[in-house]
């Protein structure tokens, strides 16, 4: 198999055995990008030069016989919502298209300490609002499994880059499903950690009570390695947990005997594609065959989750995005005579339609006449959703369900935003409750990957990873590389 199709941990072994150098590996990824990027469009900015410099430093370390960190010298793609000092951070928005980050996000600083190589900034939905990566100001990203389909979103560039062999691993962010759903659509592994497990400092805020940064990788082992590198308390993020993270690679043992896995009946209702249901039910059977005990459970408030999210997330977004007014960050509309005109024109010209829709929705639900009817009520329903999970986690260790109701959608789907919002029905509740959730491939439908979602108790990424690893090692879907349409694979 081509090196660019190998997971990061295998590439790391090759580096340590000196079978290949980090510069060679990085050049390999850059060549692969040159070959397939015109077709895939996963990146907004490429960092080839600095990537090769970081790679050379790792090679020098290896040459001196020094030990290297697990991800050292291995190229990753970073969602363009995360700040890398000196590199453009656009959030795929016109309003930030000339914004150069003045500091590193905590996750980036941590990865730098691990000598990771950043190959480029990945395309996304504008300000992470969307599920198809089509609201990007710059370009549409295509799905390496089906070039007429989207890779999902909002971390579509991160997921597509890994699936296409343009990066060995990537970082995404997940507010309502934006790591797990694109992972599901591209046959990759995507983990949204527990809220507070990973620092949000330097991740441009969308909805601060829901946002969480996490890995999108080729397999569960890489997922644990990236999570190890990025987790932990951060003094710049008061919502980050003040406790040491475990070594997540300890979860990588193929043993789930006696683990209780709940199957929530509300996650198999109307709107779920028949083939997706078949594959996910097949995976649950497989988990049972591996020794897990399958328990039927109910999360009765699931049906309200999407509506609740589309009040809370836009409310928080409307406050967070108030800072983009032409004064401090990014784009400023030219030729304005006063402050009000500058603010209005900058925001009118700088934001795309979906972002404007969210700002208007959010401002409306927070306005004094509607605050109680919408925002306050949504917060109460959020509590009911949290309680649902608390109850079932008294009975089971993890939950298993689909990640999304369909496989990858055709390009152009974002033309109907409301039906796109419904795609997040199985991922949003997990953000509402702040729980860890992973998506991993569990089969194909019409040549497109299907994602299995496993959800855990708060701070119990270990059980989620253990079950995911056990399933993956037995089922083996992570070994199939995306065909990339007519492009060589």
Q: Which is nearer to ligand GLN, 217 or 343 (CB)?
A: 217
Catalytic residue among 92, 93, 131, 154: 154
Rounded CA-CA distance 92/476 in Å is 34
Own/partner pairs for 95-98, CB < 8 Å, 24+ apart? 95/324, 95/329, 95/330, 95/331, 95/346, 95/347, 95/350, 95/351, 96/204, 96/324, 96/329, 96/330, 96/331, 97/137, 97/138, 97/330, 97/331, 98/330, 98/331
Q: Which is nearer to ligand GLN, 152 or 262 (CB)?
A: 152
Catalytic-residue membership of 154: yes
Element (H, E) at 430: helix 428-432
How many residues belong to the site for ligand GLN (CB under 6 A)?
13
Q: Does 174 bind ligand GLN (CB under 6 A)?
A: yes
Q: Which is nearer to ligand GLN, 203 or 227 (CB)?
A: 203
DSSP track, 120-148: EEEP-SGGG--SSSTT-SS----BTTBTT
DSSP track, 359-384: HHHHHHHHSTTTIIIIIIHHHHHHHH
Q: Which is nearer to ligand GLN, 135 or 217 (CB)?
A: 135
Residue 243 exposed, middle or buried by CB count within 10 Å (0-12, 13-18, 19+): exposed
Q: Which is nearer to ligand GLN, 7 or 437 (CB)?
A: 437
- Pick the piece of the chain touching ligand GLN (CB under 6 A) from 8-16, 142-150, 169-177, 233-241: 169-177
Catalytic-residue membership of 178: yes
Distances 374 to 153, 214, 312, 370 between C-alpha atoms, Å: 26, 30, 9, 6
Catalytic residue among 21, 22, 54, 79: 79
Question: Is there a contact between 107 and 213 (Cβ–Cβ < 8 Å)?
Answer: yes
Q: Which is nearer to ligand GLN, 134 or 424 (CB)?
A: 424
Q: Which is nearer to ligand GLN, 318 or 470 (CB)?
A: 318
**Min dist. Cβ of residue 298 to ligand GLN (A):** 24
Which of positions 106-135 make contact with ligand GLN (CB under 6 A)? Answer: 128-131
Q: Does 308 bind ligand GLN (CB under 6 A)?
A: no
Q: Does 73 bind ligand GLN (CB under 6 A)?
A: no
Q: Does 175 bind ligand GLN (CB under 6 A)?
A: yes
Question: Is there a contact between 26 and 149 (Cβ–Cβ < 8 Å)?
Answer: no
Q: Does 313 bind ligand GLN (CB under 6 A)?
A: yes
Residues 267-306 vs ligand GLN: string with x where CB under 6 A?
----------------------------------------
Angle at 475 between CA 473 and CA 478, to 5 degrees: 70
Q: Does 186 bind ligand GLN (CB under 6 A)?
A: no
Which of positions 194-233 make contact with ligand GLN (CB under 6 A)? Answer: 206
Orientation of helix 461-475 relative to helix 220-230, angle to 10°: 150
**Min dist. Cβ of residue 427 to ligand GLN (A):** 7
Which of positions 15-54 make contact with ligand GLN (CB under 6 A)? Answer: none
**CB count in 10 Å sphere of residue 205:** 18
Contacts of 10 (CB under 8 A, 6+ apart): none
**Min dist. Cβ of residue 178 to ligand GLN (A):** 3
**CB count in 10 Å sphere of residue 295:** 14
Q: Does 311 bind ligand GLN (CB under 6 A)?
A: no
Catalytic residue among 131, 136, 155, 178: 178
- Pick the piece of the chain touching ligand GLN (CB under 6 A) from 137-145, 163-171, 175-183, 228-236: 175-183
Q: Does 177 bind ligand GLN (CB under 6 A)?
A: yes
Rounded CA-CA distance 83/94 in Å is 17
Catalytic-residue membership of 474: no
Element (H, E) at 169: strand 169-174
Q: Does 160 bind ligand GLN (CB under 6 A)?
A: no
Q: Does 154 bind ligand GLN (CB under 6 A)?
A: yes
Contacts of 442 (CB under 8 A, 6+ apart): 279, 280, 282, 283, 450, 451, 452, 471, 475, 477
Q: Does 178 bind ligand GLN (CB under 6 A)?
A: yes
Buried b (16+ CB within 10 A) or exposed e, 104-135: bbbbbbbbbebbbbbbbbbbbbbbbbbbbbbb
Q: Does 406 bind ligand GLN (CB under 6 A)?
A: no
Q: Are strands 43-46 and 437-445 parallel, antiparallel or unpaired?
A: unpaired
Q: Does 176 bind ligand GLN (CB under 6 A)?
A: yes
Q: Which is nearer to ligand GLN, 56 or 319 (CB)?
A: 319
Q: Which is nearer to ligand GLN, 133 or 240 (CB)?
A: 133
Q: Does 325 bind ligand GLN (CB under 6 A)?
A: no
- Distance of alpha carbon 395 from its chain centroid, rounded? 28
Rounded CA-CA distance 224/263 in Å is 24
Rounded CA-CA distance 408/475 in Å is 21
- Pick the piece of the chain touching ligand GLN (CB under 6 A) from 4-12, 17-25, 173-181, 261-269: 173-181
**Min dist. Cβ of residue 155 to ligand GLN (A):** 8
Q: Does 436 bind ligand GLN (CB under 6 A)?
A: no
Q: Which is nearer to ligand GLN, 322 or 422 (CB)?
A: 422
**Min dist. Cβ of residue 113 to ligand GLN (A):** 27
Active centre residues (catalytic): 79, 154, 178
Residues that bind ligand GLN (CB under 6 A): 128-131, 154, 174-178, 206, 313, 424
């Amino acid at each position: 198999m081509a090196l660019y199709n190998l997971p990061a941990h295998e590439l790391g072994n090759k580096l340590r055995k000196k079978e290949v150098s980090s510069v060679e590996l990085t050049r390999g990824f850059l060549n692969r990008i040159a070959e397939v990027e015109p077709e895939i469009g996963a990146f907004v900015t490429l960092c080839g030069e600095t990537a090769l410099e970081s790679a050379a430093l790792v090679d020098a370390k290896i040459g001196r016989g020094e030990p290297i960190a697990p991800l050292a010298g291995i190229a990753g793609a970073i969602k363009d919502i995360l700040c890398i000092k000196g590199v453009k951070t656009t959030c795929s928005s016109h309003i930030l298209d000339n914004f150069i980050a003045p500091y590193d996000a905590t996750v980036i600083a941590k990865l730098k300490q691990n000598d990771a190589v950043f190959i480029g900034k990945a395309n996304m939905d504008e300000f992470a609002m969307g599920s198809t990566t089509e609201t990007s100001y710059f370009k549409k990203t295509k799905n390496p499994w089906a070039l007429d389909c989207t890779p999902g979103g909002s971390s579509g560039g991160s997921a597509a880059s890994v699936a296409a062999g343009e990066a060995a691993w990537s970082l995404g962010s997940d507010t309502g499903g934006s790591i797990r759903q694109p992972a599901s659509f591209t046959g990759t592994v995507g983990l949204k950690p527990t809220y507070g497990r990973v620092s949000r400092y330097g991740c441009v805020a969308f909805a601060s009570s829901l946002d969480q940064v996490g890995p999108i990788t080729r397999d569960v082992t890489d997922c644990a390695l990236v999570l190890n590198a990025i987790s932990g308390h951060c003094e710049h993020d008061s919502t980050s947990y003040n406790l040491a993270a475990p070594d997540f690679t300890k979860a990588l043992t193929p043993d789930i005997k006696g683990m209780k896995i709940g199957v929530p009946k509300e996650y198999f209702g109307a709107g779920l594609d028949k083939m997706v249901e078949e594959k996910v039910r097949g995976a649950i059977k497989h988990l049972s065959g591996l020794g897990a005990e399958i328990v039927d459970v109910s999360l009765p408030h699931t049906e309200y989750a999407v509506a609740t999210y589309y009040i809370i997330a836009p409310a928080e977004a409307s406050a967070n995005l108030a800072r983009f007014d032409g004064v401090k960050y990014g784009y400023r509309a030219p030729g304005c005579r006063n402050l009000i005109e500058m603010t209005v024109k900058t925001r009118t010209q700088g934001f795309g339609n979906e972002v404007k829709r969210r700002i208007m929705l959010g401002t409306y639900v927070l306005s004094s006449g509607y605050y109680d009817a919408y925002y306050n009520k949504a917060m109460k329903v959020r509590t009911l959703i949290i309680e649902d999970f608390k109850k079932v986690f008294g009975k089971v260790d993890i939950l298993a369900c689909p990640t999304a109701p369909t496989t990858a959608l055709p390009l152009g789907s974002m033309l109907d935003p409301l039906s796109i919002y419904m795609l997040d029905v199985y991922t949003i509740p997990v953000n509402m409750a702040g729980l860890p959730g992973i998506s991993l491939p569990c089969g194909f439908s019409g040549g497109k990957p299907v994602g299995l979602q496993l959800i855990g108790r708060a701070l119990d990424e270990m059980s989620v990873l253990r079950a995911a690893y056990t399933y993956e090692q037995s089922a083996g879907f992570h070994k199939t590389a995306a065909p990339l349409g007519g492009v060589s694979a």
